[in-house]
Amino acid sequence: MNLVLFGPPAAGKGTQAKHLVDVYAMIHLSTGAMLRAAIASGSELGKKVAAIIDGGDLVSDDIVEALIESRIEALGSDKSYVFDGFPRTVAQAEALDGLMSRQGSRIDGVICLTVNEEKLVARVEKRFADEHRADDNLESFRVRLDHYNRDTSPLLPYYAAQGKLKTVDGMAAIESVSAEIDQIIGGLEA
């Protein structure tokens, strides 16, 4: 089973991805984490994307599509993937659908975590204090939220039209969100 964890920045996608890894042994594919690793390694790709990420803008579709494609081609189509922070544009979603279908696979469900803006801001401030992620300052966060609303939220009707979209209240306690996700997975497996 392959799932997309969907939602605005700081909605809790990474936290719930960990739950899916721990309980269902899914493979967590986070383009944000891959890009941060590229920056940390000092690679050409890292140098190219560092300023874009720090400012909160989106990296180009071809870069993130290539990262996901190479990872899936290396790991194989017999695995269960949880995508976190990808896709972020309709073009990326179309590329992912194409890649999965070439692998004889598919996205089974898209779980959208809904969180209001006030709570997102509070979480970003806390995460900045805990993890010092350069793009968790409020200025970059506003840019990231604008990109979510403008470029990423059109994926909601895209996946709804495919009958794959499930919405979960991401304001609830972490365990309750995980429990709701478990129920969705149970329904998809049935």
Burial group, residue 78, by CB count within 10 angstroms (0-12, 13-18, 19+): exposed
69: left (phi over 0), alpha (psi -120 to 50) or beta: alpha
Choose the catalytic residue: 36, 123, 144, 166. Answer: 144
Choose the catalytic residue: 13, 36, 123, 166. Answer: 13
- In the complex, least distance from residue 143 CB atom to ligand AMP, rounded to whole angstroms: 8
Pairing verdict, β 81-84 and 3-6: parallel
Say whether 79 is catalytic: no
Say whether 144 is catalytic: yes
Choose the catalytic residue: 36, 88, 123, 166. Answer: 88
* Nearest residue to ligand AMP, by Cβ distance, number only: 32
In the bound state with ligand AMP, the residue whose beta carbon lies nearer, of 35 and 177, is 35
- In the complex, least distance from residue 187 CB atom to ligand AMP, rounded to whole angstroms: 26
Say whether 13 is catalytic: yes
In the bound state with ligand AMP, the residue whose beta carbon lies nearer, of 70 and 183, is 70
Choose the catalytic residue: 48, 133, 142, 164. Answer: 133
Chain contacts with ligand AMP (rule: CB under 6 A):
9, 31-32, 35, 52-53, 56-59, 64, 85-88, 92, 135, 144
Report whether 111 contacts 184 (CB < 8 A): yes
Say whether 133 is catalytic: yes
- In the complex, least distance from residue 30 CB atom to ligand AMP, rounded to whole angstroms: 6
Which amino acid, 61?
D
d(CA 26, CA 79) in angstroms, rounded, equals 7
**Which ranges in the chain belong to alpha helices (H)?**
13-24, 31-41, 44-55, 61-75, 90-102, 117-131, 138-147, 155-161, 174-189
d(CA 6, CA 76) in angstroms, rounded, equals 23
Catalytic sites, residue numbers = 13, 88, 127, 133, 144
